[in-house]
Amino acid sequence: MLIRNKTVYVYDIEIFPNVFHCVVKNTETGERLFFEISERKNNLQELVDLFWTVRNQSQIGIWERNYTTNLQFKTDKIFCGYNNIHYDNPIINYIIDFHKVMLKMSYSEICASLFKLSNLIIQSTDTNFSSWTKWKYKIYFETLDLLTMLYSQKLRVGLKEMQVTMQFRNVQEYEGDFQDYLPVSEIPKMIEYNINDVDSTEELLNRCKKDIDLRIAIEDEYGVKVLNKDGVNIGMKIITQKYLEKTGQTWNQIKDLRSPCDLIPLNEVILPFIEFESPILKSVLADMKKQTVSPGRKGYEKHFIFDELEYTVGVGGIHSVNKPEEIIPNENQILSDVDVASLYPSMIIEHKFYPQHLGKEFLEVYSQIKDERIEAKHNGNKIKNETLKLALNGLSGNLQNEHNFCYSPFTVMQINFSLAI
């Protein structure tokens, strides 16, 4: 496969206390390359020669500068993996960083160092995250991570689960223990496992061609790099870029902005014109307006029965709590399923729900994106339509994300309770 006329190489690494192994496959020719560091051989220099393709680039702030398409890498290779941004890439970057020192070390010392880093990454917590992330944020080669492209962080699955999902011909678990020393006699068996992981990753890559083509089109249209982004993150990239253009600010000026709050009086988020005729619903509304809640999905919750159906309403919205049942309409009944087009975006714009710390300019940008999407849909521009749909729908989740510059629990409550009632 070629991406922007660059050959895609699929790769995967395996690390033991005494063995390092990497399989790389050229997706254009089918050629496999094997790199091993063990008592049998040491292919460290050959590994560095293949991967180190982004040269003559300052590594200072390169990850942040890689936000837009203004930064291009003069390389003819893209290295593709599965979870490689968070695991394999830092390992390879570490090797490239210290390869001159490692060339003077014994194989056992090299393997011990890589094994230590591997465990540090796998067992990473908030307290030790900074001890290895400098190798995550270096860019010695251009990369594609199918995991981050396909799934948001909460929905990510392992490669074996992905093999099962796509019904790959050989779902293979490694039978040994990666924490144990690997006997030389077991290395060929491990390599077969390594090859299988690479082949399944290549299969997934081929199935994702439409996803990749969409991201390339988005990059060309909006000038932001999204090849390694899932749908929600793509949407936020577009919103962010348009907001920065609108306000003339830089990413560094807005990245740490938030609107946190500990308590939210519901009478301040419920729209003032909402009224009911039903005594039951009037009672529910009156009770809600008396409540003060904390951000999150737990807290206030009220059960009620209306028209013989049971509901619960709370900070997460309104839900039916009835048991599943089969409903078969008779000849005098119509069973209908109603969907509201662009419900969240329309409500946000109509009622002017936006993070206060970002100002009305944010709402103007969001409204502009909705108008552009309607025009694209009308004109039959499928790529632009789908792209802007991602931008519009991705906002609601990021309003709840403490790590996102859109974080605004008050706005979330405005949306949730407007939907609920």
Q: In this structure, what CATH number is given to the domain that contains residue 205?
A: 3.30.420
Q: Which residues are registered as beta bridge partners of 35?
A: 22
pLDDT higher than threshold 90 for residue 200: yes
Q: Is residue 36 part of a domain?
A: yes
Q: Determine the Cα–Cα distance for residues 74 and 142; give it in Å rounded to an integer.
A: 9
143-145 and 77-81 beta bridge pairing: parallel
pLDDT for residue 154:
62
Say yes or no: 394 and 284 in one domain: yes
pTM for the structure as a whole: 0.75
pLDDT for residue 60:
66
pLDDT higher than threshold 90 for residue 366: yes
Say yes or no: 185 and 304 in one domain: no
Range of the domain at 212: 2-229
Q: Is residue 328 part of a domain?
A: no
pLDDT for residue 175:
80
Say yes or no: 290 and 302 in one domain: yes
Q: Is residue 73 part of a domain?
A: yes
Segment 285-331, tens digit of pLDDT:
999 999 998 887 667 888 999 988 899 988 777 888 888 888 899 99
Q: Is residue 166 part of a domain?
A: yes
pLDDT for residue 295:
81
Which of 201, 229, 257 lies at the terminal end of a domain, its last residue? 229
Q: Is residue 280 part of a domain?
A: yes
Average pLDDT for 118-142: 86
Q: Is residue 333 part of a domain?
A: no
Query: What is the C-alpha end-to-end distance of the chain, expressed in Å?
Result: 51
Which of 207, 229, 251 lies at the terminal end of a domain, its last residue? 229
pLDDT band at 234 (very low <50, low <70, confident <90, very high): confident
Q: Is residue 334 part of a domain?
A: no
Neighbours of 89 (CB within 10 A): 25
Say yes or no: 285 and 166 in one domain: no
Neighbours of 121 (CB within 10 A): 21
pLDDT band at 127 (very low <50, low <70, confident <90, very high): low
pLDDT higher than threshold 80 for residue 184: yes
Joined together, the tokens standing for residue 170 give 């050989």
pLDDT for residue 152:
66
Write the CA distances from 225 to 72, 106, 369, integer angstroms: 10, 40, 18
Which of 195, 229, 263 lies at the terminal end of a domain, its last residue? 229
Q: Determine the Cα–Cα distance for residues 168 and 23; give it in Å rounded to an integer.
A: 19
Total of domains in the chain: 2
Say yes or no: 170 and 213 in one domain: yes
On average, the pLDDT of the chain sits at 89
pLDDT for residue 297:
62
Say yes or no: 125 and 245 in one domain: no
Q: Is residue 128 part of a domain?
A: yes
